Structures are given as structure tokens and as C-alpha cells.
Structure 1
Amino acid sequence: MTESRPMRVVILGSGRGSNAEALLRAQAADRLGRARIVQIFSDRPDAGILALGPRFGVPADFVDPAPYKTKLEGAAEEHYITSITASEPDLIVLAGFMRVLKPRLLGAFEGKIVNLHPSLLPVFPGLDGIGQAWRAGVRVTGCTVHLVTGEVDGGPILDQAAVRIDDTDTLETLTQKVHAAEHALLPDVVARIAAHGVAALLPRRR
């Protein structure tokens, strides 16, 4: 990426794409700064995230992840690396991408992959972060954007947003509150990465 070239962003997702839509809406409203979303990929041919492409004028494609259901490995991993590389990404955003990334892909895009997780990491990593927080009875949860490494949900934290759990909340209302926080946090982090680089958001070493 150079000063004259926008930061090219590729989104990977498996579901309906609400966080991808938040990014695309922010881009349409000129709130992503120098970031430009250039491609959406999904591991599911029926994923709602793919429908966002035509709506926002961004290419959106299914990339076959066979044969595994929860990870990318072997020929499928190489297929993803080739497809992503063709988009010349400066940043890859995992927005509900429900597969474990393996070392070959992580190495191909080292320092360029970020993930959005629905808890205040390092607590409640893994699946169902919102449900984990709800069942634990904590008073505050939230969401985290972090760099992706070989440790699931264990990469360096770039930023977080806290969400208070009120006495009147249900799991459904809490989920809505966390999603709203996600939709605000992710575009903000991407815009700051475009402006200052990933390193500027990393915790400073003492």
C-alpha cells in the first residue's frame, strides 16, 4: 500500500454478513477513510453475505472449502490463498468466518488478517462468546478486534468495545447490544488501520 493507493480490504464470512454490511455502509458513507472493500468471499454458497456484493457494487464469490467443515487445509487452503492473493489485499477481515485458519494461509498474509469476536478477549474465546458471557453472569461483556494468529482468538488485541449487561436484559437483547457495538467498532478500527497502519493499534510494550 502506498500513500496514493487506497488500503484494499477483503472480507471473509460464513453467515448473513451483518458486520460486513456495517463495513460496506461505512464505506458508502465515506467513514472508512482510505480503506476500500474490494472483494467478499464466503465458504458457503447460500450465505447471506454474498448478497451484499450486488447491493454495494463489490465482487462477492463462493470459494469451495471442501472437504472439511471447520477448517481450511490442503487443496482448499491453497484455493483460498490463490483467490485472496488475486485481490491484492492490504487487510483481510474475518466477519463471521467460521473456519480455523491454518499456518499456510496465516503465513501467506501474516499481519494482515483481523477478526471480530463477540466478547472482551481474552475471556470467552471460541464459539458463542455472547452466550458464554450470559451464562457466566458477568455484568460487562463486549466485542474485540484482534490480529489473527495460530492461537484461536488469541492474537494481539487492536481495540475493544464494552457492553453493560443490565438486569432487564435477556440473551436476545444482549445479543442485539453486542451486535450494535460490533457494527460501530469494526468500521472504526478498519478506518484507523487505513490511516495509521496495524502497528499503531497494537499494545505498546513496557
Structure 2
Amino acid sequence: MSKLKAAVFASGAGSNFQAIIEARDLACEIVLLICDKQNAGVIEIAKKHQISTFVFNAKEFASKQAYEEKIISELRKKEVSWIFLAGYMRIVGSTLLQAFPGKIVNIHPSLLPNFPGKDAIAQAYQAGVNKTGVTVHYIDEGIDTGPIIAQESVAVFSKDTEEALKKKIQEVEHQLYPSVINQLLQTK
């Protein structure tokens, strides 16, 4: 039986993308990277692993609907059935949500609903919390408001720097996300 095909959307360095594609016995084949930053590090990771990429500049499109329609076209060409966001710094719009209902998942570096949106690690660090973590959730039209699939907490110690906290959170992300992907795909 052939594996389901999935795409990863990312905008940055690509550490979660790397963790997903290097996960042992992943229940899907990552066939496409969608990226909105022309020089993001994640693109080099995709090239190294011979994964197709679609890199776009949102400003070159008339609207969010227009670039999401182009993304959908690229996803259809590769027969993608699931989308995993891994540091994708754009809000997913209704065009993409309607094309992949219940099949778009995100990882967020906090225990949602705490610290949604950008810079969640910095928000948690500055708030002085003693616990934060990682959330994997379905995407909806809000910002980090979709139904939660899994969470794992990370202790914050007084000696932690923001950078140390980021590293602890990334270690959890790199284990949790591939595990959750497998659980989702094995039950669908």
C-alpha cells in the first residue's frame, strides 16, 4: 500500500521540517515544501532531501485567495492529502481551509490557548511563567485557535535564558510532531 502524500509549509530555518522528514517510519511521504520566503533555510533542506518546493512571494499575487489557489494547484499536482505547518508565518485563509477540511495541522511553541501568534517563546519568557510547552492543533480561521490534538509541557527554570528555553521547546517539537503525524494518519 502506498503512503499518503503530504506537504509541509514553512517560512524559516526548517528544524521541524527536518525532524519530520528524518522521522523513522513516518506514516506519510513528504512530497512538497511550500515556502513564502525566497531565502529561507528550509529550502536548502528540501533540496538536500530531493523534495519538491514551491516558493512564492505573496506580494506578487492580487490577493490571499489568488496565492492560495496557486498553492492548491501545486498540492493537487503532487496528490497531497495532508498539510503540516512547521513555522509557516502566514495565516491560512478560507480558500485553503475549504480545499483541505480537517487536513491542515500546525505546531505551536506554547501551551495554547496561552501565547498564540508570533514570538510565543518570547511571550512566555517575558511573562515569567514556570511552564510553557508545545501544542499540535488543527488549523481554523483564527490565529492558533483550532482544536488541540496534543500538548506537551516544558518547565521554565529561573536560570533559563530565552535561547535555552527555545532549545528545550524545539527538542519537544521535534519528537512530538512526527509522533502526532503518525497517530493522525494511522487513525484516518
| Residue identity opposite 2:119 in structure 1 | D
The two structures have a TM-score, normalised by structure 2, of: 0.94
| Residue identity opposite 2:136 in structure 1 | V
CA RMSD of aligned residues (A): 1.4
1:201 aligned partner: none
| Residue identity opposite 1:106 in structure 2 | L
Q: How does 1:29-68 map to 2 (within 5 A)?
A: 30-32=24-26, 34-67=27-60
Pick one of 5, 9, 12 that aligns with 2:2: 5
| Residue identity opposite 2:116 in structure 1 | P
1:139 aligned partner: 130
1:203 aligned partner: none
Equivalences, count: 187
2:163 aligned partner: 172
Q: How does 1:1-206 map to 2 (within 5 A)?
A: 4-26=1-23, 30-32=24-26, 34-67=27-60, 73-197=64-188
| Residue identity opposite 1:74 in structure 2 | Q
- Is the 8 Å Cα contact of residues 21 and 52 (structure 1) preserved in structure 2? yes
Q: What is the percent sequence identity of the aligned residues?
A: 37
| Residue identity opposite 2:46 in structure 1 | G
The two structures have a TM-score, normalised by structure 1, of: 0.86
- Is the 8 Å Cα contact of residues 20 and 178 (structure 2) preserved in structure 1? yes
Q: Distance in 2 between matches of 1:194 and 1:78?
A: 25
